[in-house]
């Protein structure tokens, strides 16, 4: 059963290289205009945190109810699982909604992927869907938050592990005295020793520029709990048995090598947001890094972080059924295909830009950046498209995040192309969402923060006390 076209409206500003783009925010609003039945979802995490979200669906007597309700509740649940996190979904609403979610996580490949990765690997439970009689029967909403980083005393090392490079910085009393960026290729390495040796090499080089090392902080793509790796694309090539025996405890083993000093590792998106908050002196910051993948993090208006996952690489931003699929989960319309080097790579063909077969994503991006610098209009259309994607995605994300400042960085944002992305995103907000445009400020790090900000923020993670 397909979703009627009226629930997938075309945007007023269309990305020049992706005319079939159907923004999640516009689709959700179109659906809500006809929906009349109130529903509340509650996502439960392993630590007892519970997050509520309310919506409306079509009454079961509506001729489009079966297809549209299942589609929109499935897309929303995916967003909540990857952005907020949880393993048990409580549904206060028609029993058919809960049943469609149960079938999805049991029978559909993309649903089983979410159940395995979000459920079992992160929360140690397969995703469970529970029907409750009324919103009053839902577990009460409760959340924990905690301050993150901002410790700059002493001699520290900060590192950031990406899919195509790793960065490291030596920081003494808040001042960066050394930084380095090294190309590496961790994604499909089968031996965890490759990762261990790479990180150790960077740490030793940074330590050579400090009189001593008091603490080490790091950021990397993935989910980390108490310095243990839960899920991380950096280790996607590692066999399951070696992941359990070596990759999971990689950072605990590194800490041992450094004498057990304070050593903290968190998601790179969280550090992106922290770096922005530290640089701006402001809170309510959503950080989005467009690199090999898409990293995101959020600093609350109170200056803390929550237990949310913020894995915006895997949340749907395009509801067109033929939207590009993520290579890892196999699901369609997810953020990684719109805000990363992967987005640049997939838009080369529509832009009419030919590159050598087998060229890697970093090299493709460099090629596009060179074309952009020379004034090639084909390259400009790639950045314009990403900017349009970003504008509509920010409007969608703002329905779940109390955002005042948006920090956008990463290799894709380098140079004039990055400026064009923000210009187009701002035009979308001004045109379609003026109520958001006035309260959402774009922030771009200066050259110093681009070089050192993420690593300095990572170095500030551990407390010496």
100 by DSSP, 3-state: which? helix
Domains (range + CATH), the chain:
35-137 (no CATH), 146-270 (3.30.420.40), 278-456 (3.30.420.40)
For position 143, what pLDDT does the model report?
Answer: 87
For position 94, what pLDDT does the model report?
Answer: 94
For position 449, what pLDDT does the model report?
Answer: 64
For position 91, what pLDDT does the model report?
Answer: 98
pLDDT at 443 over 70: yes
pLDDT at 43 over 90: yes
For position 451, what pLDDT does the model report?
Answer: 54
Sheet containing 215-220: order of strands? 175-183, 165-172, 155-161, 215-220, 263-267
pLDDT at 265 over 90: yes
Residue pLDDT, tens place only, 292-332: 899 999 999 998 888 899 999 999 999 999 999 998 899 99
Q: How far apart are the first and last CA of the chain?
A: 58
By DSSP bridging, strand 50-57 and strand 294-299 are unpaired
Q: What is the dihedral of CA 232, 235, 239, 243, to 10 degrees?
A: -60
pLDDT at 448 over 90: no
Supply the DSSP string of 305-323, one letter for each residue: EES----GGGSB-B--TTS
For position 49, what pLDDT does the model report?
Answer: 93
For position 461, what pLDDT does the model report?
Answer: 94
What is the arithmetic mean of pLDDT over 436-463? Answer: 81
Q: Give residue 18's pLDDT band: very low, low, confident or very high (50, 70, 90).
A: very high
Q: Give residue 410's pLDDT band: very low, low, confident or very high (50, 70, 90).
A: confident
The answer for residues whose C-beta is within 8 angstroms of residue 288's C-beta and 6 or more apart is 269, 272, 294, 295, 296, 312, 339, 390, 406, 407, 408, 409, 410
Can you tell me the distance from the alpha carbon of 238 to that of 249, in angstroms, rounded to the nearest whole number?
13
For the full predicted model, state whether its pTM sits above 0.85: yes
């Amino acid at each position: 059963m397909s979703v009627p076209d009226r629930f997938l409206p075309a945007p007023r500003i269309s990305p020049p290289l992706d005319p079939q783009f159907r923004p999640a925010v516009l689709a959700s609003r179109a659906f809500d205009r006809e929906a009349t039945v109130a529903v509340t979802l509650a996502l439960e995490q392993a630590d007892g945190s519970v997050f509520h979200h309310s919506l409306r669906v079509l009454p079961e007597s509506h001729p489009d109810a079966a297809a549209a309700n299942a589609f929109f509740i499935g897309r929303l649940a995916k967003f909540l699982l990857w952005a907020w996190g949880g393993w048990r979904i409580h549904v206060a609403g028609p029993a058919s909604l809960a049943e469609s979610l149960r079938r999805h996580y049991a029978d559909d490949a993309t649903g089983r992927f979410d159940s395995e990765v979000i459920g079992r690997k992160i929360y140690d439970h397969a995703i469970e869907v529970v029907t409750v009689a009324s919103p009053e029967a839902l577990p009460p909403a409760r959340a924990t938050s905690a301050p993150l980083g901002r410790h700059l005393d002493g001699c520290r090392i900060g590192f950031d592990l990406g899919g195509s490079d790793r960065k490291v910085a030596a920081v003494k009393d808040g001042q960066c005295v050394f930084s380095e960026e090294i190309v590496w290729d961790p994604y499909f390495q089968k031996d965890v020793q490759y990762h261990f040796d790479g990180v150790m090499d960077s740490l030793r080089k940074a330590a050579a520029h400090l009189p001593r090392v008091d603490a080490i902080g790091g950021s990397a793509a993935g989910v980390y709990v108490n310095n243990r790796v839960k899920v991380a694309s950096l280790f996607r090539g590692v066999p399951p048995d070696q992941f359990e025996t070596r990759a999971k405890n990689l950072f605990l083993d590194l800490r041992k090598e450094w004498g057990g000093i304070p050593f903290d590792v968190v998601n790179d998106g969280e550090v992106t947001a922290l770096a922005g908050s530290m640089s701006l002196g402001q809170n309510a910051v959503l950080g989005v890094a467009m690199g090999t993948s898409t990293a995101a993090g959020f600093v609350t208006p109170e200056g803390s972080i929550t237990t949310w996952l913020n894995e915006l690489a895997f949340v749907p931003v395009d509801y067109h059924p033929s939207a590009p699929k993520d290579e890892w989960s196999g699901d369609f319309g997810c953020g990684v295909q719109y805000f990363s080097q992967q987005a640049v790579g997939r838009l080369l063909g529509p832009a009419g830009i030919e590159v050598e077969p087998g060229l890697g994503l970093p090299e493709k991006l460099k090629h596009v950046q060179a074309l952009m610098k020379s004034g090639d209009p084909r390259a400009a259309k790639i950045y314009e498209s990403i900017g349009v994607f970003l504008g509509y995605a920010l409007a969608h994300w703002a329905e779940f995040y109390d955002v005042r400042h948006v920090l956008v960085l990463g290799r894709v944002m380098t140079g004039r192309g990055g400026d064009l992305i923000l210009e187009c995103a701002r035009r979308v907000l001004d045109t379609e969402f003026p109520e958001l445009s006035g309260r959402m400020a774009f922030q771009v790090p200066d050259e110093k923060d681009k070089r050192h900000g993420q690593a300095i923020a990572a170095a500030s993670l551990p407390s010496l006390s």
